[in-house]
Amino acid sequence: MQVEDEILLRLENGSGARGRIETVPSRGIEHIQLNSADPWTEVDGERSSVKTKHPLFSDPAVRQALRLLVDRTSIEAHIYGRTGVATGNFLNNPERFVSKNMKWEFNVEKANRLLEEAGWKRGPDGIRAKDGKKLKLVFQTSINAPRQKTQAIVKQACQKAGIDVELKSVTASVYFSSDVANPDTTRKFYADIQMYTVGTPSVPDPENFMRQFVSWEIASKGNKWQGSNPTRWRNEEYDRTFHAAEQELDPVKRAALFIAMNDMVVDDVVVIPVVNRRSVAAMSRRLQAKLSPWDNDFWNLRDWYREL
């Protein structure tokens, strides 16, 4: 359930409320992706082609400024509440894989300073520009109340830094579609930045989860946009680290490799983590657990083994 916590609280505490909400930690990360390719230039019949570079994000100052313009505190407090925790990490579970190196901050003044020092000057319309390029971005996500509210928070902060953001909302069934004829899918990524959640794990090990940044998974026309890397980011060090993790049997060394991968994608601002989402379930207040005789035998046997 991706619903504002304020609504969930009203449902729980309203007159005649029959249910309650339970949340448990997960790997789910609501995050913003930055397109490494140019979504507005077509090459060989393909937009967001790996043969192009994003005209704005090629400047690290722009990426770092955007990182400073995501007000995670407000997003957690006013939208997600119990259902999402602000984070600077992309990989948030299990605990042994969580980096202690990444910090996050919301600082409009610092973002302005970074852009100014990098030569992005405000024009008469208040929008920054450099070498004839204006800081104008299209920000897409699926139609969903928490996501539209998050978009609005980011847009407002960007305006204060001289970045013009156009918001685009796509029906979820279209946005997450694998239809190769559909121009509005996450894998085609025909926008500058986009937002959604990944990370509901079928297994706790993060290998498959972190595969989405390796170069051979880049989504393209050649693989019918089915590759799991829609950002088109490629980094040889990341690829080598991923291969090392695939072969590493020592659990401590393997965890360190995944932490290094997390730090690479966050430091280079390939993605901007927003909140680590909790798994949310609505449960009846009348729900009760009843143990069968077989259940009692199981717990007694477990306690007996522990004593041994």
Its domain, for residue 175, covers 26-277
pLDDT for position 91: 97
pTM, to two decimals: 0.90
196: nearest Cα among 187, 186, 188, 206: 186
Confidence label for 212 from pLDDT (cuts 50, 70 and 90): very high
Q: Mean pLDDT check: name the lowest of 19-23, 45-49, 215-219, 256-260.
A: 19-23
| Mean pLDDT to the nearest integer, 219-223 | 95
Confidence label for 300 from pLDDT (cuts 50, 70 and 90): low
Instruction: Give start and end residues of each alpha helix (H) in 220-277.
Output: 236-247, 251-267
Residue 186 is part of a domain; what is its CATH number? 3.10.105.10
* E strand map for the chain: 19-24, 29-34, 84-86, 121-122, 128-130, 133-134, 136-142, 164-170, 193-198, 271-277, 279-284
Give a yes or no: residue 12 inside a domain.
no
pLDDT for position 292: 63
Reduced to 3 states (helix: H, G, I; strand: E, B; else coil), residue 296 is: helix
User: Looking at per-residue confidence, does 291 or 264 come out higher?
Assistant: 264
Give a yes or no: residue 6 inside a domain.
no
Give a yes or no: residue 37 inside a domain.
yes
Chain segment 24-45, per-residue pLDDT in tens: 888 999 999 999 999 999 999 9
pLDDT for position 12: 77
With a cut of 90, say whether residue 61 has pLDDT above it. Answer: yes
Count of the separate structural domains present in the chain: 1
Confidence label for 306 from pLDDT (cuts 50, 70 and 90): low
pLDDT for position 35: 98
Give a yes or no: residue 15 inside a domain.
no
Q: Give the Cα separation of 14 and 287 in Å (integer).
A: 19
Q: Cα dist. 304→178, 294, 297, 298 in Å?
A: 52, 15, 10, 10
Give a yes or no: residue 224 inside a domain.
yes
| Mean pLDDT to the nearest integer, 214-225 | 96
Q: Mean pLDDT check: name the lowest of 7-16, 258-267, 296-305.
A: 296-305
pLDDT for position 289: 66
| Mean pLDDT to the nearest integer, 267-278 | 96
What six digits make up the tokens of 189?
């990524």
Confidence label for 299 from pLDDT (cuts 50, 70 and 90): low
Distance of CA 165 to the CA centre of its chain: 18
Q: Give the Cα separation of 184 and 248 in Å (integer).
A: 38
With a cut of 60, say whether residue 10 has pLDDT above it. Answer: yes
Exposure of 245 by Cβ count < 10 A (0-12 exposed, 13-18 middle, 19+ buried)?
A: buried
What six digits make up the tokens of 229?
């890397």
Angle, in degrees to the nearest 10, between helices 145-160 and 108-117 = 50
Confidence label for 11 from pLDDT (cuts 50, 70 and 90): confident
With a cut of 80, say whether residue 129 has pLDDT above it. Answer: yes
In sequence order, the 6+-apart residues with CB closer than 8 A to the CB of 272 are: 31, 32, 34, 66, 67, 70
Give a yes or no: residue 298 inside a domain.
no
Confidence label for 168 from pLDDT (cuts 50, 70 and 90): very high
Chain segment 236-270, per-residue pLDDT in tens: 999 999 999 999 999 999 999 999 999 999 999 99
pLDDT for position 280: 83
Give a yes or no: residue 7 inside a domain.
no
Q: Give the Cα separation of 153 and 9 in Å (integer).
A: 22
Give a yes or no: residue 156 inside a domain.
yes
For 227, phi then psi, to 5°, come to: -65, 150
With a cut of 60, say whether residue 307 has pLDDT above it. Answer: no
Largest CA distance in the chain: 78
Q: Give the Cα separation of 51 and 242 in Å (integer).
A: 23
Q: Give the Cα separation of 299 and 308 in Å (integer).
A: 14
* E strand map for 69-223: 84-86, 121-122, 128-130, 133-134, 136-142, 164-170, 193-198
Reduced to 3 states (helix: H, G, I; strand: E, B; else coil), residue 170 is: strand
108: nearest Cα among 159, 34, 166: 159
